[in-house]
Amino acid sequence: MCAACNFPIFTHQPYEAGSIQYFFRNAADALQTGNACSACNAFRLDAAQCNEAGTGAFSTMRQAALVKFTEEEMTDLKIRQDVLDELAFEPSVDAANIGVSVEDGIATLSGHVTSYAEKLAAEDAAMRVKGVRAVTVDIEVRYPERKQHADDQIASRALDIIAWNTALPEGPIHVKVEGGWVTLSGDVHWQFQKTAAEEAVRKLGGVRGVINLIAVRPGPTVTDVRGRIEAALRRNAEVDAGKISVEVHDRRVVLEGGVRAWNERAAAERAAWSVPGVSAVENHIRIT
């Protein structure tokens, strides 16, 4: 029995929403703070508040608190299962060695994979899941013996693949490799070129991570940068332009607002970078 509300602490079962049992969590969680259920502790409701209608009765305050408490927990459990399902569905990821935890919509991935490209694919898969507000990645890259390469080999191959990439302009992009970590530096005219350089090297064998220090040095700016970005957002089928605000300060663009998914947030940022003369984009768009 809960000392605060005098209700039994039920073991967790998939009870129907609205039933008395629905309002209680797993017994182990419920007892973690003593002999009061975790809902009472979490919402700091005393015995008088919980039991004002008599022994064994719910107050309106308690019902509302418990509904909110349980719905938030069940949402995180559902998101966690959806992330696990998406990882298992993604063919470029071996989900067997990846663990997932979710708290308040923030997904944390842990475990190990066999390449840096697989690590990025796992992160992308988690970000595709509805309800995920942010992703933290604590995945270790463990290359099999035949895929391990010395730093000088990685550097040589990185320079070659960058040179062969038609998206990149003539001019030096510098490559440094230490412990499998590739650092890129140099100057390009567009953000898509900076992204292309990173994408070119991150699938190479032996790479454990990429640090992209390439600077975007744009050409002359155009008039009405804000108007051009807003028009691009309206044209984009992925983006709800009405929920995004655009501010321009010299060559720096600031995006604000809330969108439904990460791909919508990324599409808005791409639109901002596509206007000539933009040298920086601050993406403050939230996932709601």
- pLDDT of 193-234, one tens digit each? 999 999 999 999 999 999 999 999 998 888 899 999 999 999
Q: Evaluate whether residue 158 is within a structural domain.
A: yes
- CA-to-CA distance for 239 and 71, rounded, in angstroms? 29
CATH of the domain at 200: 3.30.1340
Q: Evaluate whether residue 66 is within a structural domain.
A: no
Tell me which of 216, 247, 271 is where a domain ends: 216
Q: 126-148: per-residue pLDDT in tens?
A: 999 999 999 999 999 999 888 88
Q: Evaluate whether residue 69 is within a structural domain.
A: no
Domain residues for 207? 146-216
pTM of the full predicted structure?
0.68
> Residues 190, 214: contact at Cβ < 8 Å?
no
Q: Evaluate whether residue 235 is within a structural domain.
A: yes
Q: Are residues 208 and 242 in the same domain?
A: no
> Residues 59, 50: contact at Cβ < 8 Å?
yes
pLDDT at residue 182 is higher than 90: yes
Q: Are residues 2 and 36 in the same domain?
A: yes
Q: Are residues 85 and 126 in the same domain?
A: yes
Q: Evaluate whether residue 63 is within a structural domain.
A: no
- CA-to-CA distance for 225 and 207, rounded, in angstroms? 38
- CA-to-CA distance for 125 and 83, rounded, in angstroms? 7
- CA-to-CA distance for 201 and 57, rounded, in angstroms? 63
Q: Quickly state the pLDDT bin for 45 (edges 50, 70, 90).
A: very low
At 112, is the secondary structure helix, strand, or coil? strand
